[in-house]
Amino acid sequence: MPPRDGGVSGPTPAAPADVDELNRVFSDAFTERYHRDGMRSVRVPLLNPAVWRYAFAVAGDGAMIWRDGSGAIAAFNMVHLSGVEGWMGPLAVRTDLQGRGLGRRIVTAGIEHLRRQGAQVIGLETMPRTVENIGFYSGLGFRPGHLTISMGREVLARDAMTPALAVDVATIDACRALTSRVRPGADYSREIALTRRLDLGDLTVVEARGDVAAFALWHRVPLAPTRTPDDLRILKLVAVDLGAFGRLLEALAGVAKRLRLERVSIRCETRATDAYAELLAAGFKVHWTDLRMSLEGHREPELAGGVAFSNWEI
């Protein structure tokens, strides 16, 4: 009897030459998922190749691909580690190979990889309405946590432009220290360095008494290659308190205005109810929700004060 997964082998490291094929598997798999959830008009676009290159660079040897007997991509899992904070995404199985145990295989491989790397947090995000996915991940030991709410705010005429920041090693070190204080064990300095090296975005910092009180790592490149750059998209955000968080939101609107972008997008973790209220007061509107799930024994710790948003999507 032939194997249920069609003789799939792997994982092997993802490479830039895989982007086009990965994109097709990604788009087809996520489109099919939306259709099964009743959203028949949705077609998930291909991701910007620049975003894939960033995903490969950030994941390192956690950028995993599985191939079928003909060498075609059967599945993939982008597995990330930021200090001790580990998460998976995007990940997908080719539509014709779903239901054969391959999804369990790639998620298990991601868990094992993160455990070997010493991850204390292991998580992922999925659509709250997708009960099949929630049940699948629950069967692998993941437990539901809070929602992540995607929110956006238009740039307004009254927003004051924020000047460009000269980021140096000392600035990144200060951001690392602030992250360690608010979200112990997490470290986003690698993402900051790669974002700037690949020219995808930059870092915005708010200071108080000569020290970093808040920062946000953002991308300006569109997620889909067919779209024009119109969004300042926040990937990581840390603030020492709500006051610094509010000043950071103002600065980000000013950065978007300077770059002639139309809006600022942020993904708010709903355990931060005060920060959510601050976002609403600042004019941010709700667009989408995702359910955050963490592996039993590797759940996210409580914040040590302040605000911290870590986007578990690329």
Residue 157 three-state SS: coil
Rg, the chain, Cα only: 19
**Residue 119 DSSP class:** -
Q: What pLDDT score was predicted for residue 6?
A: 64
Nearest to 189 by CA among 101, 289, 58: 58
Model pLDDT for residues 78-89, shown as the tens digit of each residue: 999 999 999 999
**E strands, 43-113, where?**
63-67, 73-82, 85-93
Contacts of 256 (CB under 8 A, 6+ apart): 155, 159, 232, 262, 263, 264
Q: Could you give the CA distance from residue 60 to residue 190 in angstroms, rounded to a whole number?
A: 11
Question: Which residues, 6+ apart, have CB-to-CB distance to 56 below 8 Å?
Answer: 14, 15, 16, 63, 78
Low-confidence ranges of the chain (pLDDT < 50): 1-2
- Please report the pLDDT score of residue 226 as a whole number: 80
Return d(Cα 76, Cα 12) in angstroms, integer: 9
- The confidence score (pLDDT) of residue 228 equals 84
Over residues 189-211, the pLDDT tens digits come to: 999 999 999 999 999 999 998 89
Task: Identify which of 238, 199, 232 has the alpha carbon closest to the alpha carbon of residue 50.
Answer: 199
* C-alpha distance from residue 22 to each of 46, 93, 105, 149 (Å): 9, 10, 18, 27
Can you give the pTM of this predicted structure? Answer: 0.94
Burial tier of 282 (Cβ tally within 10 Å: 0-12, 13-18, 19+): middle
Sign of the torsion angle spanned by Cα atoms 190, 194, 196, 202: negative
Q: What is the pLDDT of residue 4?
A: 61
Predicted pLDDT at 1: 36
